[in-house]
Structure 1
Amino acid sequence: MTDRLVQALNGDVRTYDLARQLRVGMPQSPNHPQFWHVLPRRHGDMVRADGGSAANDMITTGTHVGTHIDALAHVSQDGELYGGADAGDACLGGKYVEHGVHTIEPMLRRGILVDVAAYLGVTTLDGGYEITLADFEATLEKQGTEVREGDVVLIRSGWGAKFDEGATFVGGPSGVPGIGPEVGQWLADRKIHAAGADSIAFECLQPGAGHGLLPVHRIFLVEHGIYIIEAMNLEEISHEQVWEFTLVLVPLNIFGATGSPVRPLAVVAGE
């Protein structure tokens, strides 16, 4: 018998890529090592007897660069990780064995887009704008979308449209729009699995404040075990008004790491 999932995938489906392309010089948080890519061997550097040649690559990168997911090891509060684990003791031999990114199971879940920028009728929210619960609930109502337990909730502020502007996307002087503790706690109370956004630090950053305070990271990662996905590309699904989809996301299986680059996909049935 043919599996029903295989049957569905053999039908008409459309896939949206929600990741940013990894490029040298792309905007990133100054708190993390930059992405770098070089070719140690190029075609012609070594040629086989039959005329064949091969090229290869080397990359170095922080795990919180480009579109990436935060593991529960990424943030502690008052010396504790999720579940009350001692943050110092949890790092065994330089690896976070119980809270590392290798513990995140591949995601094949209901995903929803909460397009706050579209609801408010702007291309992008202003830097430092904190999305209120009233904004959030009104957006859901207009879209006819509901948040369910186990969902992956993606929040669009429109700030992702500034990605190619480099330093503007990082938003140091201007701040960055996003949710604050009010919406963060509301989502945590609904027991979502993960949340993502189109900005550099997921949550609201006030002008000039940088990453000094990240209360939603505490609520999600430390208090509730909810994963965070940052620097997503949500422009296409916003344009297509794709509010609900199957979210497919698999982190790199890096033992003990605090995060991983990811390439999330939104999958929907075709017309």
Structure 2
Amino acid sequence: MDAAATGGMSEARPGPDNPDFPAHQAARCASLRVLDQQVAQCRACARLVAWREHVATTRRAAFQDWEYWGRPVPGFGPDDAALALIGLAPSAHGGNRTGRMFTGDPSGGILMAALHEIGLASQPTSSDVNDGLALRGVRLTAPVHCAPPANKPTTTEERDTCRSWLRAELELLRPTLRTVVVLGGFGWQAVLPVLATAGWQLPRPRPSLGHAVHLALPATADRRGLDVLGCHHPSRRNTSTGRLTSQMLVDVLARAAELAGLQD
């Protein structure tokens, strides 16, 4: 990639295997398209790289005929989104298989059905990158772009290494972004420091995640106010135990869409 595409910088750059790669490259991405390309090249966290590639090689029996993506999964959705949904990380046989956030796993199915119900997704399913799905005014992303072992939260070091991608993504969305929905406690802990570093003023002490919790972050001199909503993650555990129902998810997303100006 030439210097112009990444913001005009031409100095020596750390390679994709270097832990400094995300911080160096993310800040130099002039568009979400370029950011997504850089995310997909990242190999900064050796443990996550080894796991995602192992899964892509061994595969689940039901997907033996698939050619797994097996790389970091970029965000998905329009570059002028007013609403951002931030999850945890791609699942091993979902995003890591299909190459798209919340695609090919039960969590993605539940989320897409809810987005479709409120008119923000063109269809209620999300099975593969060629399924025709389009999102209206919504971008899906995560604080960690690689599938973690056993679909469990990554280490603090891995989360912090990946943080630069999320910060750059939110900054590139800033001209149109009005609302953020954070899915799950891990995402909540990862996102709030990113928002604070980006210049939004968070309350002190920082609130814990609660379902449908709402933070109205005030405007500053150089950025508009931002509404941040919390929601339980649509994981199989949460939905099977009733901790999160389809209606609960729809209600939070509908409120977020209203705050973002995507619904009357």
- TM interval, shorter chain, is under 0.3
**Per chain length, whose mean CA-contact separation is higher, i.e. which structure has more relative contact order (CA < 8 Å, sep 6+)?**
1
Normalized against structure 1, the TM-score is what?
Answer: 0.27
Whichever structure has more helix as a proportion of its residues is 2
